[in-house]
Amino acid sequence: MTTATGQRYWEDVADGEELAGYELRLTWTKMVQQVSGSQDFYPVHHDPGFAREAGHSDIFYNTSFTQAALSRLLTDWVGPAGWVRRLGFQMRKMNMPDDRLQVKGVVTGKAEGDGPLGEVSIDLWIENDRVGITTPAEATVLLPRRG
């Protein structure tokens, strides 16, 4: 399990910097937790027979889970005084039980921003050990300046 890394400051960030990612093993217990927590009871997320009849190879994790996994990476990285301004992602392939996820990111740019906060652009993604990158994403975060 990862935890927030402390406060990150705009001046200390460099293009090409990699975010400390994390790994997450998708278990059947996690599937039950995400279906229950999100209240997304559509059978494609918990009924393998229904998922197969719908043309999928198995049940798969939902959009809210995917968004939360990406958001965790960002919020851990920006620290308590940072903000996530924008997050966009594309669910191109499914994450399924027994997959091992890696959630990763890299800084792609910086801008002055307004006031005491500077902007940082980040490319991030989720990949699994079964099919590679499943979810490419882009984000803009706001970081405080030193002093």
The whole-number pLDDT of residue 30 equals 86
What is the Rg, in whole angstroms, of the alpha carbon atoms belonging to the chain?
A: 17
pTM higher than the cut 0.85? yes
Domain locations in the chain?
10-25+61-144
The whole-number pLDDT of residue 1 equals 38
Q: How far is CA 8 from the centre of its chain?
A: 18
The whole-number pLDDT of residue 76 equals 96
The whole-number pLDDT of residue 120 equals 98
What are the beta bridge partners of residue 119? Answer: 111, 142
The whole-number pLDDT of residue 6 equals 86
Model confidence pLDDT, tens digit, residues 34-68:
888 888 788 888 888 999 999 998 888 889 999 99
In three-state form (DSSP H/G/I as H, E/B as E, the rest C), the secondary structure along the chain is CCCCCCCCCHHHCCCCCEEEEEEEECCHHHHHHHHHHHCCCCHHHCCHHHHHHCCCCCCCCCHHHHHHHHHHHHHHHHCCCCEEEEEEECCCCCCCCCCEEEEEEEEEEEECCCCCEEEEEEEEEEEECCCEEEEEEEEEEEEECCC
The whole-number pLDDT of residue 4 equals 55
Q: What is the CATH number of domain 10-25+61-144?
A: 3.10.129.10
